[in-house]
């Protein structure tokens, strides 16, 4: 009986070690995703709300693919909050691959007025700093948070991009 218990204890120990090693493989360090804003285009708005579509290029520099099932964004311009948006988009970014993701965001009248007040002394919007913060939801351990910073440029075509 005692010998049988020792055998079960050894099997349980070996099994738990194997499970532990497998779990460690799940937590291998990942390089951060490379995310950059490649365009901002106007969308139809409602009443006192402006809408824009933010286009982002997402690059995955990792050995393992990234699946996502939701996106959330916050955009600051010139150090002030401007727009926020969410999308329940689902997608897949393969290993060493990239994708363009478009997320609609809303600009409230209050945010717009705050920006206008802060910009009244400027001659141009050219070169204004922006910060885009967000997350790609990927389940319990797969959510990736990101930040992209840059300067806005206003090309002749009317869309904003960096």
Q: What CATH code is carried by the domain that includes residue 69?
A: 2.60.40.10
Query: Within this chain, do residues 56 and 128 fall inside the same structural domain, yes or no?
Result: yes
Q: How many domains does the chain have?
A: 2
Residue 121 covered by a domain: yes
pLDDT tens digit sequence for 59-86: 999 998 989 999 999 988 888 888 999 9
Residue 56 covered by a domain: yes
Residue 40 is encoded by which pair of tokens? 């901002």
3-class secondary structure, 160? strand
Residue 42 covered by a domain: yes
3-class secondary structure, 146? strand
Task: Give the mean pLDDT of 47-53.
Answer: 86
CA distance 53 to 120: 25
For the chain, give the percent of residues with pLDDT over 90: 33
Higher-pLDDT residue of 113 and 60 is 60
- Please report which confidence band the pLDDT of residue 117 belongs to, taking 50, 70 and 90 as the band edges: low
- Please report which confidence band the pLDDT of residue 125 belongs to, taking 50, 70 and 90 as the band edges: low
Query: Within this chain, do residues 118 and 84 fall inside the same structural domain, yes or no?
Result: yes
Average pLDDT, the chain: 79
Residue 161 covered by a domain: no
CA distance 54 to 82: 13
Query: Within this chain, do residues 8 and 49 fall inside the same structural domain, yes or no?
Result: no
Residue 159 covered by a domain: no
Query: Within this chain, do residues 14 and 25 fall inside the same structural domain, yes or no?
Result: yes
Higher-pLDDT residue of 18 and 69 is 69
What pLDDT is stored for residue 7 in this prediction?
A: 73
Query: Within this chain, do residues 5 and 49 fall inside the same structural domain, yes or no?
Result: no
Query: Within this chain, do residues 25 and 102 fall inside the same structural domain, yes or no?
Result: no
Domain ranges, residue 15? 1-29
Task: Give the mean pLDDT of 120-141.
Answer: 76
The set of residues, in sequence order, having a beta carbon less than 8 Å from that of 135 and lying 6+ positions away, is 71, 72, 143, 144, 145, 146
Query: Within this chain, do residues 2 and 35 fall inside the same structural domain, yes or no?
Result: no
Query: Within this chain, do residues 90 and 103 fall inside the same structural domain, yes or no?
Result: yes
Whether residue 50 has pLDDT greater than 90:
no
Query: Within this chain, do residues 25 and 36 fall inside the same structural domain, yes or no?
Result: no
What pLDDT is stored for residue 94 in this prediction?
A: 94
Residue 97 covered by a domain: yes
């Amino acid at each position: 009986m005692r010998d049988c218990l020792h055998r079960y204890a050894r099997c349980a120990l070996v099994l738990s070690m194997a499970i532990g090693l497998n779990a460690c493989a799940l937590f291998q360090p990942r390089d951060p995703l490379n995310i950059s804003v490649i365009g901002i285009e106007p969308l139809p708005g409602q009443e006192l709300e402006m809408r824009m579509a933010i286009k982002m290029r997402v690059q995955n520099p990792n050995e393992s693919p990234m699946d996502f099932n939701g996106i959330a964004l916050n955009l600051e311009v010139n150090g002030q909050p401007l727009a926020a948006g969410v999308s329940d988009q689902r997608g897949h970014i393969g290993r060493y691959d990239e994708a363009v993701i478009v997320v609609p965001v809303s600009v409230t009248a209050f945010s717009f007025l705050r920006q206008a007040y802060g910009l009244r002394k400027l001659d141009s919007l050219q070169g204004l700093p922006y910060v885009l913060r967000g997350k790609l939801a990927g389940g319990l351990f797969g959510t990736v948070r990101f930040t992209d910073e840059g300067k806005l440029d206003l090309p002749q075509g009317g869309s904003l991009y960096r």
